[in-house]
Amino acid sequence: MDALQTIAAASVKETTPEFGIGDTVRVSVNIREGERERIQMFEGTVIAKRGSGVAETFTVRRVAYGVGVERVFPLHSPNVKDIKVVRYGKVRRSKLYYLRDRVGKAAKVKEQIRK
């Protein structure tokens, strides 16, 4: 069991930005297409975080062309190059799955003013 923990500790990223549920983030993801590699941005609202250590993941949701798109990103994956917080959200829930049923302005999260 100790060997698994040492391997897991080696693959944990040292610097991960502090973000929470309801925050709008811009995630830079490395995409491989055959021999080529490129970085793709995915911006949306964080609706869930789960797991701990190496297995920690977060779910980002956005609406593109009227269709809701959700992606689950492993926080410590080498394919996740960068995470930038665009705005901080003010929420009172740990999971925002109810946003899936909302449309338009009702699906927005209030902004938290930080000093």
The CATH number of the domain holding residue 49 is 2.30.30.790
Question: Look-up: residue for tokens 């959200």?
Answer: 89
Residue 88, domain extent: 2-100
Q: In three state form, how does the secondary structure of the chain look? A: CHHHHHHHHHCCCCCCCCCCCCCEEEEEEEEEECCEEEEEEEEEEEEEEECCHHHCEEEEEEEECCEEEEEEEECCCCCEEEEEEEECECCCCCCCHHHHHCCHHHHCCCECCCC
Instruction: Specify if 69 maps to a domain.
Output: yes
Comparison of pLDDT for 17 and 73, the residue scoring more: 73
Residues 6+ positions from 94 with CB-CB distance below 8 Å: 21, 48, 49
Average pLDDT, the chain: 91
Q: pLDDT tens digit string along 44-54?
A: 999 999 998 88
Instruction: State how many domains the chain has.
Output: 1
pTM of the model: 0.86
